[in-house]
Structure 1
Amino acid sequence: MSSTTPDIPVLLLKTKSIPADGYHEIFAGWNNYLPTFLPVLEHRFRDNALTWLKNITSDRGFSSDTTTPTTSSFGGIIFTSQRAVEAFTAIVESLGPSTRDELLPEALPLYVVGPATARGLRSLNLKCQIIGEETGNGAALSAFMLDHYNRLPISQTVRQDRKLPLLFLVGEVRRDIIPKSLQSPDLPQGARIGVHEVVIYETCEMASFHIDFAHALEENVASGTKEQWVVVFSPQGCRAMLDCLGWLDESGRFKGQDTGSSPITTYIATIGPTTRDYLVKEFGYEPHVCAEKPSPEGIYAAIENYRSTNTRMQP
């Protein structure tokens, strides 16, 4: 590819994760891609929950201090979303550097569901063990935690004859597979792990998404590039995306892509089969690629494979 060729825009329909985002890293660093984040959902942290989390942390709720009341103590923390990582990041950054390792000790397990959550936590440079990223889903992570947590020394997981629960930072909309699995009545009483869920954030669709997406499309056309990619991460925003692209008929179904009416060709990639199937079922639209693995590497590989095998880039 010529160095004078304009960068290929990649519109990522998600909020950019902090403190690190794997999608930005992989697309900004390779092959003349230009990633842009367009949030579909708005995530709002609950101030009372953040205050509670900071107080629990500052009051040694995660440390090995045996004088801390067991009702305010936890043996580990579960992370299954980037928003939970961001909330935790805010708490960690509010702590004095000299006290972080004392309040969040090396023995404290931070359980994560995948590489994205693991990457965000590792960027904090804590001494805590960050584990579970290879599990990939709630069911597998639950099985992993049941095995791992129950193998830890009793001195770490039991205080004042009470098995310490795990803290689970969640959004207002979430699946309950982890709490149910860890506290299943089918498990022996001693193997069960208590889970304390705290709703740390709430989610709603951004009212400005339609406008923001349309503006990004206009900018890409003005840049002179002949190709752009849109990466879809969830069903939210699909209708607005297709509508802005002019691909829906009056009944809300896909009417076809009129390649002759636009100077830029748009390609659609989905993070996985759930979003792909939603586009097919709801709108009759089949995206160009679907990532084999729901990760930055999976999306990047899917786009690269499509581009390398469709050299003329006809949709």
Structure 2
Amino acid sequence: MSSTSSTAAHAIPILLLKTRSQPDDTYEEHFSGPKPAGVDASIIHSFSPAFVPVLEHTPNARALSHLGNLLRTGELKRRYGGMIYTSQRAVEAWAEVVHAVENDPTSQRPSQRPQNDPPDPFADMELLTPFPIYVVGPATERALTTLTSQSTAVPHSPFNRLNPSIYGAHTGNGANLAAYILRHYEQLQREHHFTYFEAPRLPFIPLLGMSSQNYGRKRLEKDDPRLKKKPLLFLVGEVRRDVIPRTLAAAEDRIEVEEVEVYATRVMSMFQREFEGTCRRLDEKEKDRVRVVVVFSPQGSDIMLRGIGYLDENARPTERARKRWWQDGGAANGHARWVVVTIGPTTRDYLRDRCGIEPDASAEKPSPEGLRKEIEEFLNQKNVTL
């Protein structure tokens, strides 16, 4: 058995550099709960999760007010063909908008067509057309599913009037989500929006998927604005990657994306003190034990790396970072054996490119299960067993 085995006799501390989600946190549940069923217990580690909040988020009041007006008046669906979320904070900001509009007595109820007015097939089409909401992972999917369920109980909820449907949680990162949107949104256009076919005397006839028999009698010109592919609305934070807008804009079937910054983010003033205090408390128990730190955002990661001795005062990698415990026969050299893990490629690339530190593992999917898989594989590779 490896010399590291005795150090893993108890649950491995895992520091999650994020604010604990309320009321329940799926990462806490996954890492503090029972070991996954159907797996050999000898290769599954026990963990003791702890949260160290890094970021504080400030809502963009002007942007949220603008979104509220769009939702309240029904302009949101007339202007956009769907929405994109890659951040749970963006979902929380949107939930504030939805609840504020639902609780506003001045919000418009669904407009009623006067009895003598003829049917408007295009207005009816807008009501029936699905409003796709694209998400990057299961956390954003759960948050939006909860919001949808809550809005179902609200009479005339403007959010439910959008006819929202959630897609893309399986993609795991922005690049995969962008590729999925290109396929799915185009298919949605073909199924629910107008397309053309040529006939000898009627060269441009609008069709509406399976319901085309209801709308096929009404001719449209080729440049009719009702036939234009609508842009997608992307709710973002102050710091984000541009992989999704860039990919969708560069595609042959271009999809326009409009970004709205719904919150600003900064590192909490107390983060460094809280993180160093947590490390000291762990040191008091057993200084050279294996412990895991999970980085959820590039912001604050340099403070963390200095805290574990991987960056010096000039933000350069230290000898300890260059020669880690598993690279020198398992000797702890009087220091904790840190395993640095990132939640995805954004944080991985930041640590690698900006800090000069190669993380030990990076989750392929930003989920508790994806994170656990990478940590387990790394610990097993280094022969850290219970």
Provide the alpha-carbon RMSD of the alignment: 4.1
Taking the TM superposition and a 5 Å limit, the aligned residue runs for 1:236-255 are: 236-249=299-312, 252-255=316-319
User: 2:133: which partner in 1?
Assistant: 110
Paired amino acid for 1:11: L
User: 2:367: which partner in 1?
Assistant: 295
- Indicate the SS of the match to 2:317: coil
Per the alignment, do residues 26 and 105 of structure 1 end up closer, same or farther by CA in structure 2, a change over 3 Å counting? farther
Give the distance between the partners of 1:247 and 1:53, measured in 2 at CA: 43
Report % sequence identity: 40
User: 1:132: which partner in 2?
Assistant: 168
Return the match for 1:219 from 275, 281, 288.
281
Paired amino acid for 1:90: E
Cα deviation code 1:25-83 (max 9, x no counterpart): 322324542322323333221011112222222223356xxxxxx4xx43322212222
Cα deviation code 1:144-199 (max 9, x no counterpart): 3442341242389x998364443221223444454455455954xxxx54433322
Return the match for 2:269 from 202, 207, 216.
207
Give the distance between the partners of 1:106 and 1:220, measured in 2 at CA: 55
CA contact (8 A) 1:17 1:82 kept: no
Give the distance between the partners of 2:27 and 2:353, measured in 1 at CA: 27
Name the structure, 1 or 2, with higher relative contact order (CA <8 Å, separation 6+): 2
Per the alignment, do residues 288 and 193 of structure 1 end up closer, same or farther by CA in structure 2, a change over 3 Å counting? closer
Paired amino acid for 1:231: V
Paired amino acid for 1:54: G
Does 243-252 or 113-122 show the bigger shift? 243-252
- Indicate the SS of the match to 2:57: strand
Per the alignment, do residues 168 and 255 of structure 1 end up closer, same or farther by CA in structure 2, a change over 3 Å counting? same
Cα deviation code 1:203-245 (max 9, x no counterpart): 2333322112112212333456944210123443333122212
Structure 1 residue 95: Cα displacement: 5.1
Does 26-35 or 172-181 show the bigger shift? 172-181
Give the distance between the partners of 1:274 and 1:78, measured in 2 at CA: 18
User: 1:148: which partner in 2?
Assistant: 187
Give the distance between the partners of 1:285 and 1:170, measured in 2 at CA: 27
Give the distance between the partners of 2:110 and 2:48, measured in 1 at CA: 41
User: Where does the alignment leave 5 or more consecutive residues of structure 2 unmatched?
Assistant: 36-45, 112-126, 150-159, 195-207, 209-219, 326-330
- Indicate the SS of the match to 1:111: strand
Give TM-score, length-normalised by structure 2.
0.62
User: 1:166: which partner in 2?
Assistant: 232
CA contact (8 A) 1:106 1:129 kept: no
Structure 1 residue 312: Cα displacement: 4.7
Equivalences, count? 297
CA contact (8 A) 1:248 1:255 kept: no
Which protein is bigger by CA-based radius of gyration? 2
CA contact (8 A) 2:293 2:339 kept: yes
Give the distance between the partners of 1:209 and 1:165, measured in 2 at CA: 39
Give the distance between the partners of 1:106 and 1:25, measured in 2 at CA: 37
Per the alignment, do residues 145 and 20 of structure 1 end up closer, same or farther by CA in structure 2, a change over 3 Å counting? farther
Give TM-score, length-normalised by structure 1.
0.74
Taking the TM superposition and a 5 Å limit, the aligned residue runs for 1:185-196 are: 186-187=252-253, 193-196=255-258
Paired amino acid for 1:289: A
- Indicate the SS of the match to 1:198: strand
Return the match for 1:270 from 306, 328, 342.
342
Does 49-58 or 30-39 show the bigger shift? 30-39
Give the distance between the partners of 2:190 and 2:66, measured in 1 at CA: 29
User: 1:119: which partner in 2?
Assistant: 142
User: Where does the alignment leave 5 or more consecutive residues of structure 1 unmatched?
Assistant: 64-69
Structure 1 residue 90: Cα displacement: 1.9
User: 1:39: which partner in 2?
Assistant: 53
Paired amino acid for 1:288: D
- Indicate the SS of the match to 2:147: coil
- Indicate the SS of the match to 1:120: helix
- Indicate the SS of the match to 1:207: coil
- Which structure has more strand as a fraction of its residues? 1
